[in-house]
Amino acid sequence: MDWHEIALGAIGLLVMAYGYLFHGIVRDQKSLEKRMSEHEKELPEKYVRRDDFAAFKREILDVLNRIESKIDGKADKS
């Protein structure tokens, strides 16, 4: 065996090892992308957007302020 054949064999083994690692990385990335897309579908069902919550909070506080003013008006009449 010549040293060229040994070097080519070693390079071939290295390329094969890197190919196997690259294939594993690509497979894991596809799995993560699938899980992320499933998570994105679940988000609207489980969580509320910040601006939607702020609008809801404003509405609740407005109702509570109206109730408070009515109670204060009733207390003044007594």
Phi-psi domain of 47 (left: phi exceeds 0; alpha: psi -120 through 50; beta: other): beta
Residue at 64: amino acid letter? L
Average pLDDT over residues 50-65: 96
Domain boundaries, the chain: 1-47, 48-78
For 27-51, how does the pLDDT look when each residue is reduced to its tens digit (9 = 90+)? 999 999 999 999 988 888 888 889 9
Distance CA 35, CA 13 (A): 33
* Whole-prediction pTM: 0.51
For 5-27, how does the pLDDT look when each residue is reduced to its tens digit (9 = 90+)? 999 999 999 999 999 999 999 99
